[in-house]
Amino acid sequence: MVQDHRGPLLFYGWSAAVTVLVTIAARVDGGAGSPIPVVLFLTLGFMAAAYPPYGVVATGTLMTGCYLGLIAVPHLDVPALFVAAILAAFTVLCAMASANQWEAYERQAMLLRTHEVLAATDPLTGCLNRRAFLDRLDRAVTAAGTGAPSVVCVVDLDGFKGVNDRDGHAAGDAVLRAVTAALAGVVRETDTVARLGGDEFAVLSAAGPDGDGAALAARLRAAVAAVGAGCGVTASIGMTPVVAGDDVHEVLGRADRAMYRAKAGGGDRVAALAR
């Protein structure tokens, strides 16, 4: 199936050239009695397997017109009209086959896109999962090497186990979804929010004007405190920069260590760890 816009232009130009060459060759070879026009059928058959139906119809119409107007003329007898009718009918059949093929391709492409989204999405919260976050972080590490630093914040919930123990896992799941929405509500559209697992989240953001992400981390802490006020849930946040020469696992490890510092300090706070 054609995806690059140059592909259809090339192929339609080629099919038009084939039509012209076949018309000239058949005309020289004796007109309607020449076997050369069979190439037109072969070309249409190839188009049905690779191109959308509108292209097949347009090319088939051109071929039928050339056959009637340039090859069969001046002997528009019954055999010539029969061949033209067969060519027109074959065009319709090829267009139908192309439509079926194209529809199957679109279904397959949509299914593939759906699988890609599901593979990168946390099923409970709807945000990105750990694997997708690591992919984004890997790109951020590469970008940091070209002078585009980022900041990673690991967000671990304080008091979440108590929610599960006291109110049940359904209540805990509701808290996780609320926290996800709260985190997403205080970051930029270009930032990444992901659930690493359990009650641990991560946020990846391009370094802002302050350069260290302190304002971002403060917003994240306040957002969790707001949605968790009714159930005693807060957040311990570990923050670290992503700079040139970093490694994905090194960055995440630093952010984790910073988060544990925040938790050891009593929770509901931010701790930073430089490279």
C-alpha distances out from residue 102 to 1, 146, 269, Å: 8, 42, 55
- d(Cα 178, Cα 173) in Å, to the nearest integer? 9
148's tokens: 């585009």
Which two three-digit tokens encode residue 176?
A: 């996780």
Which residues have a Cβ under 8 Å from the Cβ of 265 and sit 6 or more positions away? 271
**Helix runs in the chain, H state only:** 6-28, 38-50, 53-66, 78-120, 130-144, 160-167, 169-185, 214-227, 248-264
Respond yes or no: is residue 199 known to be catalytic. Answer: yes
Per DSSP, the three-state class of 210 is coil
Structure tokens at 66: 């050339």
**CA-based torsion, 266, 267, 270, 272: positive or negative:** positive
Give CA–CA dist 45/61, Å, rounded.
14
- The residue from 156, 199, 246, 256 that is catalytic is 199
**Calpha distance 197→187 (Å, rounded):** 20
Edge-first strand order for the sheet with 192-197 is 192-197, 200-206, 150-158, 234-242, 269-272
What backbone torsions phi and psi does residue 236 show, to the nearest 5 degrees?
-100, 125
Q: Which residues are catalytic?
A: 199
